[in-house]
Amino acid sequence: MFFFRPLIVAVLALPFVAFAAPRVQPVPVPEEMRSTAFTVLVNGVPVDVAHAAASYSFVSFDITGPVNVEITAAEPGFWTGGVDIEPWRLGIRPVRDGQTIRFKLQGPAKLSITRPGDFLNHAAMLFLFAGVPPAPAPRGTGVQVYPPGVYRMSLNPKSGDTIYLAPGAVFFGSLNLWKVQGVKVLGRGMFVYDGPQDPNNDEGWMQKPDWHCIGALQARDVQISGLTCIVRSRTWSIQMKDSTGFVYEDLRVIGGNPGNANQDGMDWLGGGDTIVRDAFLRTSDDVFAMQGNWDGYTEEDMTRPGHNVANILIDHSVLSTSISNIVRAGWPQKIYNSRNFALRNSDILHAGIGACGQTFGVFGFWGANGASGEHMGFTFENLMLDHWYSLVQMEQENPSLHEFTFHNIWALDQPPLAGSTLTGDVKNVTFDNVKYGQMRVTGNAELPLATSDGAAPGKFPEPHGPVAEFTVDPPIFGPGDAVTFTAVPSPRTRFTWLFGDGTGATGQRVRHRYKDADGTELNGANGAGRFRVLLHAEDKDGREDWAARGLVAVARWHPAVRVGGALAQGLKWRIFPGAWTELPDLTKETAVFTGEAPGLQADAQGYTRYATVWTGLIDVPADGGYTFHLMARDGARLVIDGMEVAKTGPPFAQVCGSPGNAVRYARGSLGLHAGKHALRVEGLHFASPGSPRLMWEGPGLPLAEVPTAAYSHASEGEVGRGKGRE
């Protein structure tokens, strides 16, 4: 059974305060690895900041109680656009003071600290590992102890070896487990792998020593605890071929390479019987992948039957990828069987973007082009989704995928950017309590899920167990106002709240006051900030549920405009031909076509590379704090009442020959008075079909597409600013 509540208590961020300091033990890193991107103090003790891979940094330290953390960025203005500390379910919101942020941890945690929405391979990311002191080195014959220091070598244990890597023991090389059994690797050591792989081609699949951070061939009964793997080259980080009986505990893997591909976290090529517990993995490709074999890319290699993969458990872990899947199994032409895989009780920080033949998702099974095998008994349970792309993509030609369960999947603060699919011989796929915010998915359309080529529709059981759902009164508030949060009653249930400002409470009905309008991520521009409110419900039997809702605290209101003439439904549009690859300043360009449309549509009259501007009015139904969600493949920008509300990131090309760009996402919040407000949407079109997508949410208005009825434009007369209520 999965219990989140003790973890909330352990790491809930509180105001930065002084208290009796517990012991802080930094894990040192060699001078050649040290990064100057950040300075980190833990209870005033300096902690070495290490360069990991790509533009990633990390810190590692052990603690015996609560600690205050202080992080200073070297780059001026680094935190100006906000701070995003994940996992979101921990409710951490720092205090920002110029280039420094501060927060409190009351226990161990594995964190990703970035700027909002900045998590792809080029991002400046800081990973923080706060652990408990490792056990001392075991005694006895066959125990090899490596004290702190730099070792420019690989380790090649023999059967029965126990290896203890003291904190600060750093190996520039690999851990090779070749046809061994009964091996233990313990302590708090690190391997830094930067191999000879071609950065422009996939050679990372090869099974040979010194080719991965951890490589295993026909090994069994291996325990690895407290190890950090840093992977800088284009190779699979941890590869196990025909190996069984592995246990990974407190594993930390950070991988990044310029190619942003072919750098999986952990791969099984046959074998299994593996437990991964309390791990952190940040990868450039699939975090976990399963195949029966992989011996090259020739037709003979791809179609050679592989060995079964079975009995894998990933539990209580924190998972992040730049562009690919959290879990992938199957591949075109591959022939093998798999069963009994479980990913549970874990945080998904960043789950893919775009596609590689198949759209990326939390789970992808790509059994195409003659692939065959029986795959069954996969369970995804108690998963928290922060940034993500789609939930599931499953395809199999012969004979079948069956008995796949997605239970308690909680998407905390973002809608899916791409739909899910079931294709081919796929059946008995159950979606039991999949939630977006507070909405529980009850059918294919809400997921959304498309089935084709004979796939059976998804199953959506009736609710069972406690239900997390809540109301807010008043729905409109500003800093200092009292707000009452009321959970829908559920028998024998404990309710725990995280208000999104670093504080929390317990009870079925609670009151709270927000001190500012900066929002959870400290990016509340335009006078309004969005707070991510989370509710956790747990009954006496240990069953649980979560709900999430974004609430906007308004410090500055924006009045509706005055309309001086008649209005027509829809928006005006203008087409600007051009070969831009990012949105230009369209105020300096000249349109060649104009027209009107009900919503975000336009007629480019044959042009394939162009930008579009839609202008008009958007009708806000009631006073309140509104959040606008903008999605586009080639780039888009949203301006309301002359203020930029959201702008998607630079276009990001899909890979493996998938055409066009991935969907990019951005959002922003405003305090708007009821009535009509000036609207401008800019969209670029140079590689991908389709127009931008705009959604909104506000008081009494759940997250939904902006309806065409909300759009209008002046057909005559003038539109001007109204006096409104400030």
Mean pLDDT in residue range 499-513: 98
> What pLDDT, in 10s, does the model give residues 641-696?
999 999 999 999 999 989 999 999 999 999 999 999 999 999 999 999 999 999 99
On whether the CB atoms of residues 76 and 60 are closer than 8 A, the answer is no
CATH number for the domain running over 470-555: 2.60.40.10
Q: Would you identify the CATH topology of the domain 143-285?
A: Pectate Lyase C-like (2.160.20)
Q: Look at residues 705, 561, 692 and name the one whose alpha carbon lies nearest to residue 637.
A: 692
CA angle 684, 690, 691 (to 5 degrees): 55
Paired residues of 627 in beta bridges = 669, 697
pLDDT bracket for residue 262 (50, 70, 90): confident
Q: Is the pLDDT of residue 449 over 50?
A: yes
pTM exceeds 0.85 for this model? yes
Q: Which residue has the tokens 């091996």?
A: 183
Backbone angles phi, psi at 404, to 5 degrees: -110, 130
Domain boundaries, the chain: 5-131, 143-285, 470-555, 561-721
Distance CA 180, CA 154 (A): 16
Contacts of 20 (CB under 8 A, 6+ apart): none
Q: Is the pLDDT of residue 111 over 60?
A: yes
Q: What pLDDT was estimated at residue 507?
A: 98
Q: What pLDDT was estimated at residue 83?
A: 98
SS3 694: strand
Cis peptide before 399 (omega within 30 of 0): yes
On whether the CB atoms of residues 553 and 480 are closer than 8 A, the answer is no
User: According to DSSP H, which parts of 19-103 are helical?
Assistant: none
DSSP category for residue 367:
-
Compute the radius of gyration of the chain from its Cα atoms.
Answer: 26
Q: Is the pLDDT of residue 212 over 60?
A: yes
**Which CATH number among 2.60.40.10, 3.40.50.2300, 2.60.350.10, 3.10.620.30 corresponds to the domain 5-131?**
2.60.350.10
Strands 266-277 and 309-315: parallel
Q: Would you identify the CATH topology of the domain 561-721?
A: Jelly Rolls (2.60.120)
SS3 357: coil
Outline where DSSP puts E strands in 258-391: 266-277, 280-283, 288-291, 309-315, 318-321, 327-329, 338-351, 355-356, 358-359, 363-366, 372-388
Q: How far is CA 91 from the centre of its chain?
A: 15
Q: What pLDDT was estimated at residue 485?
A: 98
> What pLDDT, in 10s, does the model give residues 128-148?
999 999 999 998 888 999 999
Distance CA 464, CA 150 (A): 54
Distance CA 339, CA 213 (A): 27
Q: What is the largest CA-CA distance in the chain?
A: 91
On whether the CB atoms of residues 39 and 72 are closer than 8 A, the answer is yes
Contacts of 315 (CB under 8 A, 6+ apart): 275, 276, 277, 278, 342, 344, 345, 346
